[in-house]
Amino acid sequence: MIFLICPVRIVTEEELKTIESFVEQVEKSGKKIYCPFRDTNQVDETGGYRICRDNYHAMSNSTKIYIWWNKNSLGSHFDLGMAFVLNKLFNKKIFLVNDENIEETDEKSFLKVIKKISSKLDEE
């Protein structure tokens, strides 16, 4: 299974449709993909703890981690931290899937971290 890090709360309707289309393409290729806005119950009386725990379990049980990066998504920042640890401890492969849509800067950024630790999809 693939875990997809992606925005959930801070996402435009257009970006959401693009992500849904991407997920559909992955599934049509025969792969299973865990998509948090679809597969994690977003109603959480613990204030977000259960969501983070559920995403951690799904991510740790995945074989690969895909990242649909949106720098404004705070949940994605949290999930990126988990992915970083899983990559370092268990060599879990990480793939940035929307790099053509992201504007780079010269400043330090999480995008630069992602690019440092990720593989190319065509190397999958």
* Domain ranges within the chain, ordered by starting residue: 2-123
Q: Tell me the C-alpha distance between 51 and 102, whole Å.
A: 26
What's the burial of 13, exposed, middle or buried (CB within 10 Å: 0-12/13-18/19+)? exposed
Please tell me the pTM assigned to this model: 0.92
Q: Which amino acid is at 109?
A: S
Q: What is the pLDDT along the chain (124 residues), one digit of tens a residue?
A: 999 999 999 999 999 999 999 999 999 999 999 999 999 999 999 999 999 999 999 999 999 999 999 999 999 999 999 999 999 999 999 999 998 777 777 889 998 899 888 987 766 6
- The answer to whether residues 64 and 118 touch, using CB atoms and an 8 Å cutoff, is no
Q: State the distance between the two ends of the chain, measured CA to CA, in whole angstroms.
A: 13
Report the CATH fold assignment for 2-123: Rossmann fold (3.40.50)
Residue 90 tokens read as 């268990």
